[in-house]
Structure 1
Amino acid sequence: MDHLTVVTHPLVQHKLTLMREAETPTAVFRQLLREISQLLAYEVTRELPMEQKRIETPLAPMDAPVLAGRKLALVSILRAGNGLLDGILELVPSARVGFIGLYRDEKTLQPVEYYFKVPELLGERLVITVDPMLATGNSSAAAVTKLKEAGAKNIRFLCLLAAPEGIARMKEAHPDVPIVTAAVDEKLNEKGYIMPGLGDAGDRMYGTK
């Protein structure tokens, strides 16, 4: 995979537009995020390793492809990452799940960690880190650093929206981590929010603002 993949599938783009609209209700926003995460999951898991398994169909035996190696790990950057996590788990229910608690200091725009719990044997798994917004990139880069310190070697980052500043920050800090997103927006505003964006993803998911 290249460092950046923008998923331009019509269903992805249509659902993203609905999510951007200010009048979209919280419940609808959550449902759209779940649906779009499943579509994005097809792209981020495209290169999962496969092996052959001998099976019996109703008519004849055959060698058929199945996933190989250890079960992948999904790591959500709390809290908004859980919106993407839930949808992907519906497609890959056997995945191991981890959580990284980070919040952005509104004055410094730097990440502050408050929780870290991930599956074992990260070095033997594909690790998909999920967070709807790649804005400044500081929290995302910090999360990936923590995962590497925990042994992860094969990491991908999945987000709904990305800003050029966040993409550049991630590429500088972790050039080995591919990014999959539905759109790259114009810029960040003075408060570090993606423009035109869709607002605060966590607040819109949970109706907290």
Structure 2
Amino acid sequence: MRQVTFETTYPPEAAHPLHRQLMGDGPVSRADVLIWGPTADVTTLTWFDGEPAAVNAALGAIDSATGTQLVAADDGTYAFVRQSAYELPDAALEAVADARAAFVPPISFRASGVARFDAVGEPEALAEFYGDLNGAFDTAVVRVREFRRWSEPAGVTDRQREALEAAVAVGYYDVDRSGSVADVAAELDCAPSTAGELLRRAESAVLTAFVGES
């Protein structure tokens, strides 16, 4: 099986109401949907790169939100949001519903209008899904790799794992290093100092776990 990272660019008129809030110059520029359910009427868990007050204001754009709870943590804010509908474009929802693939968190919505997400499945099924979604919205394949099931070191967060994946993708860990922390930051849509901190913490967790297991 393959795991493919996709990036879909939504024009403002087709983007989710919350995503449109991120596309401005406001204090919140990224939302990572960490947990969602199979139906619209379900509580989702999302991480935002902003303070609770700013996140609360952004969530006001979601008409379908029937309840929210905010928790400040991890250089941002977690939001538990109860929704009665997903409010995504019909074409996107249909492509996902028809896909013969599984979608793994997080789904990252960014200020550029891009939504980045991973899908797992057989190559033919993933290619079919890509064709359906790309037929409606500009969609790019960012990365393709073999799907592997293994447990992450307990100390590695989702953001740190994403930083490690970005570092591998840009060549930061090549024997003849071809990528820099700045390249990792560009992949993550964050400052180089933030990318460097994420890498250092992730490397510490991975190496400590490896030495402990050895």
Q: Give the TM bin, normalised by the shorter chain.
A: under 0.3
TM-score scaled by length of structure 1: 0.26
TM-score scaled by length of structure 2: 0.26
